[in-house]
């Protein structure tokens, strides 16, 4: 995953991400999900969770795997927690909730990305629980720490993206779509897409969020982007973001919706958790 945060002109959130999973794991492509708040995300049909989504408040939640020594015998789905984070009113609230949940020890290793226009963080859920806030910069994440200079895959992505001036969403999306579609060379190096065997790159997502709903972009490749073109799902994303705009417009006396209590959102997540979907 590459995150260009608060750098590009007029587009503070730019993300490119390849999902790596078992090729035979059933998946529902991103669509608008029922419930409140409205969200657009894909669904893992095996466990019911998601790997990345955006809610109507413009908050992004995503999860990647992370190495961890002590994994519980029957871990709870990491994707379910990612989907619950989309109930949050803000990225800061989501990050705090993710850290609290990971501290229970109920999950296999994971990194949770929580970002909105005001705040961004990656929550480490491996052998340590830590919230690492994003600074305005280009960040890269795999299955370890953010911006790990010793990670060759991160280094390759970083060098590929920095060959260009990423000063706009158009520039970032064009460069990232090419970089994240790169297949390894004959030696198995210098590539982003993982293929072969039972596990590898199963999809790719490009995302752009700004203060203007009309400029929001969501593109999704339903397979390795080296073999599949990106479908434009921006209309779905803009419809979800418009739901929050309409909600604020309909609040009496200019209320901005602060009556939505974080505790209620968390309780909703707990209720879903109690179903023990795995």
Query: What is the band of 169 on the pLDDT scale with cuts at 50, 70, 90?
Result: very high
Rounded to the nearest integer, the mean pLDDT of the chain is 90
pLDDT in tens, 180-237: 999 988 777 778 999 888 999 999 999 999 999 999 999 999 999 999 999 999 999 9
Contact call for residues 192 and 181 (beta carbons, < 8 A): yes
Query: What is the band of 260 on the pLDDT scale with cuts at 50, 70, 90?
Result: very low
pLDDT at residue 189, rounded to an integer: 75
Interatomic CA distance for residues 30 and 174, integer angstroms: 21
pLDDT at residue 185, rounded to an integer: 83
Query: What is the band of 252 on the pLDDT scale with cuts at 50, 70, 90?
Result: low
Query: What is the band of 255 on the pLDDT scale with cuts at 50, 70, 90?
Result: low
The β-bridge partners of 14 are 4, 208
234: exposed, middle or buried (C-beta count within 10 Å: 0-12, 13-18, 19+)? middle
**What residues does each domain of the chain span?**
2-252
* pLDDT surpassing 90 at residue 247: no
Across the range 73-86, mean pLDDT stands at 97
pLDDT at residue 190, rounded to an integer: 79
pLDDT at residue 146, rounded to an integer: 98
Q: Where are the beta strands (DSSP E) in the chain?
A: 2-5, 13-22, 27-33, 39-44, 52-55, 60-65, 110-115, 120-125, 129-133, 137-140, 199-209, 217-221, 231-232
Domain 2-252: CATH class, spelled out? alpha beta
Model's pTM, two decimal places? 0.89
pLDDT at residue 32, rounded to an integer: 98
* pLDDT surpassing 50 at residue 262: no
Across the range 92-99, mean pLDDT stands at 98
Interatomic CA distance for residues 270 and 136, integer angstroms: 33
SS3 104: coil
Torsion of CA 83, 88, 91, 92, to 10 degrees: -130
Across the range 117-128, mean pLDDT stands at 97
pLDDT at residue 253, rounded to an integer: 58
pLDDT in tens, 42-63: 999 999 999 999 999 999 999 9
């Amino acid at each position: 995953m590459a995150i260009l945060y608060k750098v590009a002109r007029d587009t503070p959130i730019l993300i490119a991400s390849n999902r790596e999973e078992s090729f035979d794991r059933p998946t529902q492509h991103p669509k608008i999900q029922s419930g409140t708040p409205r969200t657009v995300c894909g669904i893992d049909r095996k466990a019911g969770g998601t790997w990345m989504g955006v809610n109507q408040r413009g908050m992004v939640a995503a999860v990647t795997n992370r190495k961890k020594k002590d994994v519980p015998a029957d871990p709870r789905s990491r994707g379910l927690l990612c989907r619950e984070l989309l109930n949050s009113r803000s990225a800061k609230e989501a990050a705090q909730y993710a850290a609290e949940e990971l501290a229970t020890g109920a999950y296999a290793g994971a990194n949770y990305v929580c970002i909105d226009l005001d705040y961004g963080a990656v929550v480490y859920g491996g052998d340590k629980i830590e919230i690492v806030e994003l600074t305005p910069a280009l960040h890269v994440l795999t299955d370890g720490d953010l911006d790990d200079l010793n990670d060759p895959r991160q280094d390759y992505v970083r060098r590929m993206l920095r060959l260009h001036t990423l000063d706009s969403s158009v520039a970032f999306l064009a460069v990232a779509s090419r970089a994240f579609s790169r297949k390894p060379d004959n030696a198995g190096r210098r590539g982003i897409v993982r293929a072969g065997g039972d596990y590898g790159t199963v999809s790719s997502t490009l995302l752009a969020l700004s203060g203007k709903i009309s400029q929001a972009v969501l593109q999704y490749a339903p397979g390795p982007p080296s073999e599949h073109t990106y479908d434009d799902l921006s209309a779905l994303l803009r419809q979800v973001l418009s739901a929050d705009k309409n909600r604020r417009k309909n609040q009496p006396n200019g209320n901005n919706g602060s009556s939505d209590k974080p505790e209620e959102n968390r309780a909703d997540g707990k209720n879903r958790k109690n179903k023990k979907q795995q």
